[in-house]
Chain A
């Protein structure tokens, strides 16, 4: 009785959740399946026309672009980040915290300021080009463009890849690695057969933590892409803020959510597979 009574103190928050988490998402779902004047609820009619619009080649290309760019940047983060995580995890305890701190300090700077900083570095008359000019090398003109967007994504989300991998790597029992070495595994074999499989959970959460913000961003593409490479985030932003087509914007949001849910389900399957394999071996 006492116990159940205390559960009741969560009710106000449950009502809050219903109003501010559930209802807004239902509204988005509702607008995605209707057409007509959004300010006149009676006028709205059921329709799948906004989903049909998503399937038009220009928009499909934008969605494809977002997934490709987010995928490539996730891959680059993994390739750059894994060795970083390994190096930090293998440093002696005294220096490890310092290294980790140094790595985390940049993310304490506001996300927009970091992206803005790259704008000033990469602009046609920016510092990098002045440096290249001074060295007698040709100018690089990647901003605005895809390469600059990729660079911005890798720069902003790299720590999200390194942290989870580092956490997993630092928890691996050193004796396991020693045992692998004693049993004749050289460092490459030990890495492939022991360290890498053990770090899969870290890799999986790293991939999710980089891919999610990358695929839905509109800030990076807006500032560094200069509107040349619109992503699904830019499309959604436009529908809600400038062209006011809520129906189309809602369908895009629903599609983004579904695609993210699917990719997360796939990732959590990969995450769960190693223990199952182990069980089968036993």
Chain B
């Protein structure tokens, strides 16, 4: 009896969670333009999607910004984390508290604050400002992912390497970096997903010359319905799903990284 209640409850919750997604996917193959009517099966919207220059451009910017901001924030964040762990206690507390601001602040405040900075300093909003903004909100997460690994690391290993004649750069490359690699990888993964998924901060810092997929979906959804959005969502969803399944499978043996 209790088991049945649990099953029914979970089924209702899952129905609630999946209904909109399933509807989007089903209607991406719908011939009729209306959202409520089934007009037969078609791939048209997918072809339209690839013909649409706006969507192609948005996809390009989304991926380009995600890749660059992930690379930059992972490298800068790791170096910063290594430095922070060697700072005095007061310095570390101050830096970490400021570092946490973009994590704790609502996205909209981070977005408008950066926009204010760019416009006040007469920097034109566009690709560069959006990229900077993505790096700004990604680095804190990389630092938060890498720092615990540095803390767990045995300090004497690095000292031993130096005593045995390794140069600091060599010790860094051969001893410290491999030791904190899991933290760096999960930091990079978080940075990448955050960048791909971000809407609010991009919306305020992109200006009118560039759009990423999120901004495009927002403006399309406000203007009215276009079945191509359904096709786009289906593609994006399956891509992320496949990526996540691969990541989860790879990390299954070690730690679970669930984002």
Contact = CB atoms under 8 A, between A and B. Distances in A.
Given A9-B79, A112-B221, A27 B120 contact: yes
Given A120-B35, A120-B225, A17 B98 contact: yes
A3 interface: yes
B236 interface: yes
Interface stretch (B39-47, B184-192, B211-219): B211-219
Given A6-B83, A216-B107, A222-B222, A28 B36 contact: no
Interface residues of A, number: 79
A240 B36 contact: no
Nearest to A158: B17
B18 to A, nearest CB: 7
A143 interface: no
Contacts of B197: 110-111
A119 interface: yes
A3 B86 contact: yes
B67 interface: no
Contact of A109 (B21, B86, B199, B248): B21
B132 interface: yes
Contacts of A80: 13
Interface string A198-226: 00000000000000110110110011000
Complex A-B, nearest 3 residue pairs according to Cβ-Cβ distance, in ascending order: A10-B83, A117-B20, A216-B106
B128 interface: no
Given A21-B101, A113-B236, A219 B79 contact: no
Given A110-B233, A119-B221, A256-B109, A10 B116 contact: no
Interface of A (DSSP majority class): helix
A4 B99 CA distance: 20
B17 A21 contact: no
A218 B76 contact: no
A120 B102 contact: no
Interface residues of B, number: 73
Contact of A28 (B23, B24, B109): B109
Contacts of B10: 84, 87, 99
18 contacts: A6-B83, A7-B83, A7-B87, A84-B10, A106-B17, A109-B237, A110-B199, A114-B20, A115-B221, A116-B217, A120-B35, A127-B36, A155-B20, A213-B107, A236-B112, A237-B108, A240-B204, A241-B204
Interface string A230-266: 0001001100110000100110010011001000100
Contacts of B214: 110-112
A13 B79 CA distance: 9
B53 interface: no
Given A87-B9, A108-B240, A240-B204, A127 B35 contact: yes
Which of B88, B108, B197, B240 has most A Cβ within 10 Å? Answer: B108
Contacts of B37: 130
B7 to A, nearest CB: 9
A190 interface: no
Interface string A114-154: 11111111010111011000000000000000000000000
Interface string B1-45: 000001001100110111111011001000000111100000000
Given A10-B79, A13-B76, A109 B101 contact: no
Which of B17, B115, B217 has most A Cβ within 10 Å? Answer: B17
B106 A256 contact: yes
B258 A104 contact: yes
B148 interface: no
A78 B132 CA distance: 36
Contacts of A215: 106
A27 to B, nearest CB: 5
B8 to A, nearest CB: 11
B80 interface: yes
A57 interface: no
B112 A16 contact: no
A264 B104 contact: yes
Given A233-B108, A260-B106, A10 B84 contact: yes
